[in-house]
Structure 1
Amino acid sequence: MPTNTLKDPTNPELNELGNTKINRMILMRFTLFLLLLTALLVALSLPIYSEYETGLKEQLLAQEEVSVVSAKQMIQKEMYEQLHLLDMIVESNPLKNYLDETDSKQNKQLLEAMLKNISASFHRYDQIRVLDNSGQEKVRVNLIDGKAVTVAEEFLQDKSASYYFKAAKKIHIGQIYVSAMDLNVEQGKIVEPYQPTLRFTTPLEDSQGKPKGMLVINYSAKGMLEQFRDIMTQRVDQQGMLLDSQGYWLSNHERSNEWGFDLGKPEHKFASFYPNAWPKVKESKSGTFETDKGVFRYVSIEPLNFKDYQPAHFRIEHQPLIAESAFINTNWKMVIFIPKELINSYSFLYQPLGRALSLLLILLLPAIAFLSAYFSVQRKINKIKDQQLVALLTHRANFDALTGINNRRAFFELGEKELKQAHRQAIPLVALMADADHFKKVNDTYGHAVGDLVLKDLAKTLTNTLRDVDICGRIGGEEFAVLLPHTPEEEALEVAERLREALAARKVPLPDGNTLSFTVSVGLALLTTEDQHLDKLMQKADLALYQAKEQGRNRVVVYQETPAVEEST
């Protein structure tokens, strides 16, 4: 540019400046502007990215919470069922008669027959034993290849040296000892394939109150651990762990790390892999924290603590008296780990576009204003995404993914409110439990995809048949629940019959062009003043459903209160 074009005749000061001074001023202002923009960029970008990263972690942890709740309730329900079974055996007439007349061959045979039936029916108990006061096995039933077998008297063993016998000798009648989970050992060797086992033991006495040994149940935890792993596979990275009180893995996404204590591999424990995390996990019941390796979410399982949770379909008439040592043995921790690499993979700045834009910000400072605007828009987009994710999580938390109706949690939440209102206003409320008949046969014959079509059609028919004020939900595999507010029993029975007939008339279209018909059994229960909680009412409806199944299916059965009948000896 010619120098004379820079001169301003009205500005003497500017005219006195030469080209060198003007260029220096431009450079100084540019430098100052660059510094200000750089400082502004740093001041804005650091808190923005910190907030973004925090939100990202919160999003990932929110997704994990579904797995945490599902796994914890599954394990507690499984333990509750075993205590229920133990209580049932202890209170059974065959066992009581055997304890009163130990030398009776007939009583022993009846007891063995009952234990074989239990073992063969549930497929969860590798061994069920009755020991005498000295620890000698008197009755033993083994589950071998799915078949319950009575062990001959000459093969019964002395278990007086076993840790569970010694531990159970220290507890009182009515108390229950639960061992730590370990791998089953026979003849001094770990059984292969591995058999994770919990031993439930309780002292026994005869009708005169004399000690008569103890009942020992070897519960196979393999199925429970498989369910735990299946829940963990639904997570974003599938790294879910179950630890014992010493930090050894009962379940790990890397199966080779499991059972370090039993297999003589002390280095295969949580503390060896995450030394900074173990003290925090060990010391408190629940929490979330971050290390240089990633984010940890942990919670104590407490499978024998039923103060806050009891499965709806299982009830022991009295709260079981768990031995203190049993709580120590089952002091398990569930740990969910989100690696740093996974968090970074979700982070914008670690993706190719984010890296390119960061480099562009450094190299093209004159365009910093534009790039700042871009990040502002990007932040807004991220906020919208956060809101959408929260809405999606809320939907997933309340609605069944397959059928689109209320899931179990949402149904019980809505139902409890309806039940309380019914009690306050003294209005009738009826519960229905509906279950697809022979659903397993549908899955086995046509496949799970067709089974899903049946469940979807069932749910659609429910919503189309019921009123807007009625509440329905899927609370199990093929099990659906309905609440009918302001509905007398006679009218509710008509609704149930109309629903059953509508479903029986349905023809579900199949992918191959054919159709499939199915029926349902329905149990009906009317709310009474005794039903202060929904699970009690639903239990009655479930019992009626069971009767409908027993009476031939494809029918509606109304729950009737019947007096208890003492079991015949």
Structure 2
Amino acid sequence: MNKTESKYIKIKYFLYIFAPFFILTLIFFTVVRNSSIKNEIDQIKISEKISIESVHEIILNDLSSVTSDVLYLSQNISLYKDLKKSPLDFKETSHQYFNFIKYKKIYDQIRYIDNSGLEKIRVNYKDGNPVIVENTQLQNKEERYYFKNSIKLNKGEIFMSDFDLNIEDKNIELPYKPVLRFATPVIDKSGKKLGIVIVNYLGKNILSDIENNSDLKNSSSYFMINSSSYYLIHQDKNKEWGFMFDEKKSINMKNDNPELLEEMKNNLMGQLFLDNSLFTYTKVNPTKDKYILSENPQNNYSNEDFEKYRWIIISTIPEKHFIKIKSEINHKLIWKFYIISIFIALLAFLYSKSKYSEYLSLEMIKEKNSELTEKNKEIETKKETLKKMNTYLEEKNEQLFLHSTIDPLTKTYSRRYFSELFSKELTKLKRHHLSLCCMIFDIDHFKSINDNYGHLAGDYILEAISKIIHDKIRNEDIFGRYGGDEFLIALPETELKAGKIVAEKIIKTIAEETFIFNDTSIKVTLSIGISALDDSFDTIEAAIKNSDSALYLAKKNGRNRVEVYHKS
């Protein structure tokens, strides 16, 4: 055997081990890499959706608070008891406005304007201090869009302007002061329309809420555009409020990114990749069912989308962030790949050396070694199979834990897991003599809902009510589904009186909610029984029994109510 043939045999045996294991390792790490990247991106997408929904909810909550204030100012007739006196005698109401704006700190201005369009009261909020404007400086606003749009409204209807920058003496105020104007009629007890009350809401509160929600970890940033695609929030501050300036009329998303604008056109919310950047968006329409609006916004531009939505909030994560993620994952895996490859090469070298020695040995030894090689392959295959089985079992164990602790429909605790947590609270109660309330409730006439609207509607009601109640209770409270439409809530360190207040809030919130399923409105009420526990209770069943008795009493007394268990 010459040197060339000997070298060929050694290389052949080396590649016999090295090549397949190297390729399998390469495939494995490629799959792991791609899966890791996909999982990371999926997590980012979920996080962005949650974040944008949170921002949407924050905005609606902010605006809801403002509308409550405006309705309070208009419907609290005691504020206007001096309106029939001399036109100059509005001192008491002015001071009421003064105290209101000072306490709230979110309004730039509050005004009362009479039926003729004359300002009767104006209180400005300047540099943190309220100022009652002198009578000589009050103006006639008869021709302003907000007066025309709001004076014709009925009681309880509110006009809301679009976002713009505040203007003083026909000039845009510096520094920029974004405002929203809310106005509603003032109507006395006889039904006579006296005028309007109008507040200038400081829009920086909403804009700050949005900008502060940016996720630094994901390198996300927010944009906000109005229904004509002009920027209200942009990383480049020079691009904001383009519609307010003649020289900036062309600075908008329609010109900057028409493809993104077209993608968002037909959906209320969504998520997409564009130019390798992730965009998550939601349209905000606070006008729906809550406000009466002017036919056209006050700005000097027209848009066909004004009635569909007021603003679009857009979260964007740039391409460079995803490149960074891929780079970090590659860096974590590459050194492991190198080590395993070297280990495979070492094994292959040793194997080649051994096989070469065997090649020079007798045929019998060669055959035995061949059998041993087959055994080695079988062992490696079993190892790989065992590894996969272990991974599969870990995944199933995790799924089993979730299924055993969380009710899949309502996302509340399962009965078993609730009992486990409740038992711990009973133990703490006995040991530390703490207060503890137990609340049990079910949905009134739930069977009728299933019969009349179908079981899918019933499931929807259970899921929706659970979500609402989750928002009404504390993180430390224990909320579980006991069975069917029956739920339990344990309120640790809560006296019976406080627990009853929580229960009554839940009753009121659900009763006032209208649930929409397949375009059908469904009204739902709850009956709640509540009891206080002490260290005499040894079992969960005994602790729940008193609350269940109170629930029975709530049903008996007409439903849609809270009943407290009292010892007889």
* Shift, 1:160, TM fit: 2.9
Q: Secondary structure at the match of 2:174?
A: coil
Cα distance in 1 for residues equivalent to 2:125 and 2:34: 57
Cα distance in 2 for residues equivalent to 1:191 and 1:366: 73
Alignment of 1:228-267 (within 5 A): 228-233=210-215, 236-263=218-245, 264-267=247-250
Q: Secondary structure at the match of 1:232?
A: coil
Per the alignment, residue 51 of structure 2 pairs with: 67
Q: Judge conservation of contact 1:180–1:330 (CA < 8 Å) in 2.
A: no
Greater radius of gyration (CA): 2
Cα distance in 1 for residues equivalent to 2:42 and 2:479: 39
Q: Secondary structure at the match of 1:525?
A: helix
Does 2:264 align with 1:285? no
Cα distance in 1 for residues equivalent to 2:479 and 2:44: 38
Cα distance in 2 for residues equivalent to 1:162 and 1:493: 53
* Shift, 1:82, TM fit: 0.7
Indicate which of 61, 83, 99 corresponds to 2:67. Answer: 83
Indicate which of 18, 38, 42 corresponds to 1:58. Answer: 42
Indicate which of 154, 164, 168 corresponds to 1:182. Answer: 164
Cα distance in 2 for residues equivalent to 1:534 and 1:481: 22
Per the alignment, residue 556 of structure 2 pairs with: none
1:295 aligned partner, one-letter code: L
Cα distance in 2 for residues equivalent to 1:493 and 1:474: 13
CA displacement 1:341-387 (0-9 Å, x = unmatched): 1012111587556688999999xx999x99xx9xx99x99xx99x98
Q: Judge conservation of contact 2:113–2:197 (CA < 8 Å) in 1.
A: yes
CA displacement 1:372-425 (0-9 Å, x = unmatched): x9xx99x99xx99x98xx99xx9xxx9xxxxxxxxxxxxx9759x99xx9xxxx
Per the alignment, residue 431 of structure 1 pairs with: none
1:212 aligned partner, one-letter code: L
Q: Judge conservation of contact 1:71–1:228 (CA < 8 Å) in 2.
A: yes
Cα distance in 1 for residues equivalent to 2:58 and 2:105: 18
* Shift, 1:39, TM fit: 11
Per the alignment, residue 100 of structure 2 pairs with: 118
Q: Judge conservation of contact 1:271–1:278 (CA < 8 Å) in 2.
A: yes
Alignment of 1:458-477 (within 5 A): 465=434
CA displacement 1:439-463 (0-9 Å, x = unmatched): xxxxxxxxxxxxxxxxxxxxx99x9
1:119 and 1:52, CA in 2 relative to 1: closer, same or farther beyond 3 A? same
Alignment of 1:272-311 (within 5 A): 272-305=255-288
Per the alignment, residue 321 of structure 2 pairs with: 342
Q: Judge conservation of contact 2:62–2:206 (CA < 8 Å) in 1.
A: yes
1:91 and 1:4, CA in 2 relative to 1: closer, same or farther beyond 3 A? closer
Cα distance in 2 for residues equivalent to 1:269 and 1:116: 39
Q: Secondary structure at the match of 2:501?
A: strand
Per the alignment, residue 181 of structure 2 pairs with: 199
2:206 aligned partner, one-letter code: M
Does 2:2 align with 1:2? yes
Alignment of 1:377-396 (within 5 A): none
Q: Judge conservation of contact 1:79–1:304 (CA < 8 Å) in 2.
A: no
1:324 and 1:56, CA in 2 relative to 1: closer, same or farther beyond 3 A? farther
1:96 and 1:105, CA in 2 relative to 1: closer, same or farther beyond 3 A? same
* Shift, 1:128, TM fit: 0.9
* Shift, 1:112, TM fit: 1.3
Cα distance in 2 for residues equivalent to 1:90 and 1:359: 74
1:80 and 1:251, CA in 2 relative to 1: closer, same or farther beyond 3 A? same
Per the alignment, residue 332 of structure 1 pairs with: 311
1:256 and 1:356, CA in 2 relative to 1: closer, same or farther beyond 3 A? farther
CA displacement 1:199-222 (0-9 Å, x = unmatched): 001234445544433221111121
1:531 aligned partner, one-letter code: I
Calculate the TM-score normalised by the size of structure 1. 0.56
Q: Secondary structure at the match of 1:337?
A: strand
Cα distance in 2 for residues equivalent to 1:353 and 1:231: 30
Indicate which of 135, 144, 159 corresponds to 1:162. Answer: 144
Does 2:121 align with 1:139? yes
* Number of residues of Structure 1 aligned to a counterpart in Structure 2: 407
* Shift, 1:60, TM fit: 0.8
Q: Judge conservation of contact 1:249–1:257 (CA < 8 Å) in 2.
A: yes
Where in structure 2 are there 5+ consecutive unaligned residues? 298-305, 350-380, 419-427, 441-468, 483-489, 514-568
1:236 and 1:37, CA in 2 relative to 1: closer, same or farther beyond 3 A? same
Q: Secondary structure at the match of 1:531?
A: helix
Q: Judge conservation of contact 2:242–2:249 (CA < 8 Å) in 1.
A: yes
Cα distance in 1 for residues equivalent to 2:244 and 2:499: 47
Per the alignment, residue 501 of structure 2 pairs with: 525
1:496 and 1:44, CA in 2 relative to 1: closer, same or farther beyond 3 A? closer
Calculate the TM-score normalised by the size of structure 2. 0.56
* Shift, 1:525, TM fit: 2.1
1:232 and 1:213, CA in 2 relative to 1: closer, same or farther beyond 3 A? same
1:357 and 1:96, CA in 2 relative to 1: closer, same or farther beyond 3 A? same
1:336 aligned partner, one-letter code: S
Q: Secondary structure at the match of 1:216?
A: strand
Cα distance in 2 for residues equivalent to 1:153 and 1:240: 43
Q: Judge conservation of contact 2:227–2:311 (CA < 8 Å) in 1.
A: yes
Per the alignment, residue 503 of structure 1 pairs with: none
1:484 and 1:133, CA in 2 relative to 1: closer, same or farther beyond 3 A? same
Cα distance in 2 for residues equivalent to 1:241 and 1:257: 11
Cα distance in 2 for residues equivalent to 1:96 and 1:123: 22
Q: Secondary structure at the match of 2:201?
A: strand
Q: Secondary structure at the match of 1:194?
A: coil
Q: Judge conservation of contact 2:437–2:499 (CA < 8 Å) in 1.
A: no
Cα distance in 1 for residues equivalent to 2:266 and 2:205: 29
CA displacement 1:206-262 (0-9 Å, x = unmatched): 455444332211111212322222222465214122222122222234444332322
* Shift, 1:104, TM fit: 5.5
Cα distance in 1 for residues equivalent to 2:184 and 2:338: 69
1:290 and 1:361, CA in 2 relative to 1: closer, same or farther beyond 3 A? farther
Cα distance in 1 for residues equivalent to 2:68 and 2:252: 33
Q: Judge conservation of contact 1:179–1:330 (CA < 8 Å) in 2.
A: no
Per the alignment, residue 209 of structure 2 pairs with: 227
Q: Judge conservation of contact 2:476–2:492 (CA < 8 Å) in 1.
A: no
Q: Judge conservation of contact 1:475–1:481 (CA < 8 Å) in 2.
A: no
Q: Judge conservation of contact 1:300–1:334 (CA < 8 Å) in 2.
A: yes
* Percentage identity across paired residues of the two chains: 23
1:261 and 1:97, CA in 2 relative to 1: closer, same or farther beyond 3 A? same
Q: Secondary structure at the match of 1:130?
A: strand
Per the alignment, residue 352 of structure 2 pairs with: none
Per the alignment, residue 451 of structure 1 pairs with: none
Cα distance in 2 for residues equivalent to 1:196 and 1:161: 22
Per the alignment, residue 131 of structure 2 pairs with: 149
Q: Secondary structure at the match of 1:284?
A: coil
